[in-house]
A and B are shown apart, each in its own frame.
Chain A
Amino acid sequence: MTKLRENDNLVGYVFASPFILGFLIFTVYPIFSSLYYSFTDYNLFEAPRWIGFDNYDKMFTGDDKYWKSIKVTFTYVLGSVPLRLAFALAVAMMLNKAVKGIGLYRSAYYLPSLIGGSVAVSIMWTQIFGDKGLLNSALGLIGIHTETSWIGSPGTAIWTLIALSVWQFGSSMLIFLAGLKNIPASYYEAASVDGAGGVRKFFQITLPLLSPIILFNLIMQTISAFMTFTPAYIISRGEGGPLDSTLLYSLYLYRRAFQFYEMGYASAMAWVMLILIGLIALVLFQTSKYWVHYETKGGR
């Protein structure tokens, strides 16, 4: 009987083997070899040379650009995530009404997320925020004539990236929408009977009941914001310019790896980012018990 069961398992493993092998070869092995490379000097042409913690040391003490990229990344994350979530929630509440053609509106607002991080959209963005772009033409119509390139100026370039991120609010919006649908209408009716206005209802009913979903979106969006690469790469043509104002962490890592052939340094950067994202996710989870409301357990 036991023997037969083992055979059953074997068949299972055989069927699962494409995934298991793929996982081992393309995920586990690269992760550990990247950990190894992070302690080496490796330029792709010559064999990796063990240098201990030198890469980490240089990163934290001898590389101004590294700190600049950290600063740019935090500006981007702190700017884009709250705006994006607020925007997503606002639109979700608007789309939670029974209006004629609501399905069409929902699809239309979700559309930017479908084509989201693509190269084409980033190129379109450079057209909109360029010196002769759509934005400047629109400003010209209301009497503000300017020829600045929003994407090419150090002060504004990162904000065009944030705007692009906010514009892709669709997926969090859909999740919010599902959450809103789960709030029983009877709560609002009861509140109306007690004389609560719209603002009161939002803060006393909608937000608390939606808080688990806000937590989920917050964590997912934060992680993906930290990993943003494509728009900055396309818009700054791989350089993170002007004046390093769009030098996101992932872009700097890419430059080190594929432009200067410093695979060891890039691997070390990747590991620091992994730990950083892990820590931030942990902090968000820890604080969540103060503000996330679960109907089943009552939270804190």
Chain B
Amino acid sequence: MKKAITAALSSALSAALLLTACGGGASSSSGSTSGSTPAATSGSSKDPVTLRVAWWGGQSRHDYTLKVIDLYMKKNPNVKIETEYAAFDDYWKKLAPQAAAGGLPDVIQMDISYLTQYGGRGQLEDLDPYIKKGTIHTGDINENSLSGGKVDGKLVALNLGSNALQATVDPQMLKDAGVTLKQDWTFADWEEIGAKLKAKGKMIAADLRHDVYFPFYLRGKGQKMYAADGTSLGYSDDKPFVEFYTMYKKWYDSGYLLPLDKLSQKKGTPEDSELVMGNAASSNGWSNQYILEAAAAKRPVDLVPVPGWSQNKALFLKPSMYFSVAKSSKQKEEAAKFIDFFLNDIEANKIIKGERGVPVSSKVKEALMPDLTPEQKKVFEYVSWAEKNSSPMDPPNPVGAVEVDKLLKDTVEQILYKKISVEEGAAKFRKEANAILAKNKK
């Protein structure tokens, strides 16, 4: 048994070593300070400061983020930034022990599914005072874009960009199958299109991610995945679960989706997507993912709303990711300044180009427009369309949601492998999820 723990510890250690090695690359580039704006550095001491900045992502995100950080260090020669980055899963495995040891990075990229975990347990700094002081400028940011970073009424995370659910489609493949897309397509239309594609030997999509699309379907029915206080699921009637997964099972059994044994081996990279490989006519994800997928496809693809969005305005804008400041940080002022730079600096955002979601600052959005590629422009336009055609986002997931997501995935697998019926699955999921969430009762 010790071996598992040793393995876990040693992998954490090697990840740490790797990350610090990466961190070494971002050395402070002192020198040319002529271009620095006086506003960015005014009012603060010029004492040397070391900031630790952490994020998750793929290679392209790492590359441009390092460039943004270099730019920041050029403008603020007294600041030296150490970087820590990893893939999504590894990132969280490393952050938890750091939190336990009181050694979180100063600036932490935060995800909505972990926000309550960290924010609700006092690991993150309240950023409101820094906004009032003017360290972080939010004048060009819509209040709705900010509110998604609140936990228990405190703003503990700043939204880096907005996302909306989208469907990437292959217009040629749809045309070949004799399909014309409606703007307000429903899941019933989806099923019909699935059948037409199947006849041509294609799939409609690899899958629909359960932790995203089941809550989305619930929204369409006017229900919520989680109760407001986070101690139980938000619904008590299994009907929507049974409806959605009866449909889903039908799609699966009819071969409109990718078989589970193949799905489980997917690496999750754009190149590995069934749409990109030419086997599926659509792929479902967040709007910022469209750009990478379109680039990988190397043939014309298009961005359309997700099926079912028009039912009860199920669509919503979601913060793609946030930056937070650790409560344990000794450089909170400097950390807040870095976040401000990331949000508001035009030059920095010309490097970022909305890869972390469409920028929340209207000024930045405007400034970027002329430089965008056609694909990036589609994303920006889609998000502003979605802004007008959606309802407010649900509150951040409660503690335990990560386990509930896994439970949902396991339950649906059991249904699709015909180990249990949809009705049994619905009841089992509700009972076990409620047991997990009941731990939040104080």
User: A interface vs B, CB < 8 Å?
Assistant: 44-46, 126, 130-131, 148-149, 151-154, 224, 226-230, 233, 236-239, 241-244, 249-251, 253-254, 257-261, 269-270, 273-274, 277
The one of A151, A253, A277 in contact with B4, judged by C-beta atoms closer than 8 angstroms, is A253
Q: Is the CB of B265 within 8 A of A154?
A: no
Contacts of B96 in A (CB 8 A): 44-45, 258, 261
Contacts of A227 in B (CB 8 A): 1-4
A23-B5 Cα distance, complex, nearest whole Å: 16
Contacts of A258 in B (CB 8 A): 8, 93, 96
Once A45-B100, A257-B8 are accepted as A-B contacts, the answer to whether A242 and B117 lie under 8 Å apart by CB is no
CB distance from B406 to the nearest CB of A (A): 7
Cβ proximity bits B203-219 to A, threshold 8 Å, 1 near / 0 not = 00000000000000000
Contacts of A226 in B (CB 8 A): 1
- Assess whether B261 is interfacial by the CB under 8 Å rule: yes
Q: Is the CB of B1 within 8 A of A253?
A: yes
A270-B400 Cα distance, complex, nearest whole Å: 22
Count, A-B residue pairs, CB within 8 A: 98
Contacts of B201 in A (CB 8 A): none
Q: Is the CB of A229 within 8 A of B3?
A: yes
CB distance from A29 to the nearest CB of B (A): 14
A233-B11 Cα distance, complex, nearest whole Å: 12
Contacts of A242 in B (CB 8 A): 260-261, 264, 413, 417
A-B pairs, 5 with minimum CB distance: A152-B261, A250-B4, A273-B1, A227-B3, A44-B100
CB distance from A59 to the nearest CB of B (A): 14
A233-B403 Cα distance, complex, nearest whole Å: 18
A251-B8 Cα distance, complex, nearest whole Å: 10
Which residue of chain B is the closest to A153 with respect to CB atoms?
B261
Q: Is the CB of B1 within 8 A of A241?
A: no
Cβ proximity bits B251-285 to A, threshold 8 Å, 1 near / 0 not = 00000000011111100000000000000000000
The one of A149, A241, A274 in contact with B413, judged by C-beta atoms closer than 8 angstroms, is A241
Cβ proximity bits B329-366 to A, threshold 8 Å, 1 near / 0 not = 00000000000000000000000000000000000000
CB neighbors of A among B91-109 (8 A): 93, 96-97, 99-100
Once A236-B264, A238-B89, A258-B8 are accepted as A-B contacts, the answer to whether A154 and B417 lie under 8 Å apart by CB is yes
- Assess whether B168 is interfacial by the CB under 8 Å rule: no
- Assess whether B410 is interfacial by the CB under 8 Å rule: yes
Q: Is the CB of A46 within 8 A of B121?
A: yes
Contacts of B414 in A (CB 8 A): 243
The one of B8, B265, B400, B410 in contact with A131, judged by C-beta atoms closer than 8 angstroms, is B265
Q: Is the CB of B4 within 8 A of A254?
A: yes
A249-B402 Cα distance, complex, nearest whole Å: 20
Q: Is the CB of B402 within 8 A of A260?
A: yes
- Assess whether B221 is interfacial by the CB under 8 Å rule: no
Sample of 18 more A-B contacts, CB < 8 Å, known A152-B262, A229-B7, A250-B1: A45-B121, A130-B265, A149-B262, A151-B264, A152-B264, A227-B3, A229-B3, A229-B4, A241-B410, A242-B413, A242-B417, A243-B419, A253-B1, A254-B7, A257-B5, A258-B96, A260-B402, A270-B5
A239-B403 Cα distance, complex, nearest whole Å: 12
17 example contacts (A-B, Cβ-Cβ < 8 A) are as follows: A149-B262, A151-B261, A152-B260, A152-B261, A152-B263, A152-B264, A154-B417, A227-B3, A242-B413, A244-B410, A254-B4, A257-B8, A258-B96, A259-B93, A269-B1, A270-B1, A270-B5
Interface residue SS majority, chain A: loop
Contacts of A229 in B (CB 8 A): 3-4, 7
Q: Is the CB of A44 within 8 A of B97?
A: yes
Which residue of chain A is the closest to B97 with respect to CB atoms?
A44
- Assess whether B123 is interfacial by the CB under 8 Å rule: yes
CB distance from B127 to the nearest CB of A (A): 20
Q: Is the CB of B1 within 8 A of A274?
A: yes
Q: Is the CB of B406 within 8 A of A239?
A: yes
A262-B5 Cα distance, complex, nearest whole Å: 14
CB distance from A152 to the nearest CB of B (A): 3
Contacts of A254 in B (CB 8 A): 4, 7-8
A254-B96 Cα distance, complex, nearest whole Å: 14
A32-B178 Cα distance, complex, nearest whole Å: 67
Q: Is the CB of B117 within 8 A of A45?
A: yes
CB distance from B421 to the nearest CB of A (A): 16
Which residue of chain B is the closest to A156 with respect to CB atoms?
B261
Which residue of chain B is the closest to A154 with respect to CB atoms?
B417
Which residue of chain A is the closest to B98 with respect to CB atoms?
A44
Contacts of A230 in B (CB 8 A): 7
A253-B5 Cα distance, complex, nearest whole Å: 9
CB distance from B431 to the nearest CB of A (A): 12
A171-B88 Cα distance, complex, nearest whole Å: 36
A81-B88 Cα distance, complex, nearest whole Å: 36
A233-B89 Cα distance, complex, nearest whole Å: 13
Contacts of A126 in B (CB 8 A): 265
Cβ proximity bits B381-403 to A, threshold 8 Å, 1 near / 0 not = 00000000000000000001011
Q: Which of A233, A253, A261, A269 has the most chain B CB atoms inside 10 A of its CB?
A: A261
Q: Which of B4, B89, B413 has the most chain A CB atoms inside 10 A of its CB?
A: B4
Which residue of chain A is the closest to B4 with respect to CB atoms?
A250
Once A44-B100, A258-B93, A260-B402 are accepted as A-B contacts, the answer to whether A243 and B262 lie under 8 Å apart by CB is no
Which residue of chain B is the closest to A27 with respect to CB atoms?
B2
A217-B4 Cα distance, complex, nearest whole Å: 21
Which residue of chain A is the closest to B100 with respect to CB atoms?
A44
CB distance from B288 to the nearest CB of A (A): 23
The one of B261, B402, B403, B417 in contact with A149, judged by C-beta atoms closer than 8 angstroms, is B261
Contacts of A130 in B (CB 8 A): 265
A126-B117 Cα distance, complex, nearest whole Å: 34
Q: Is the CB of A44 within 8 A of B99?
A: yes
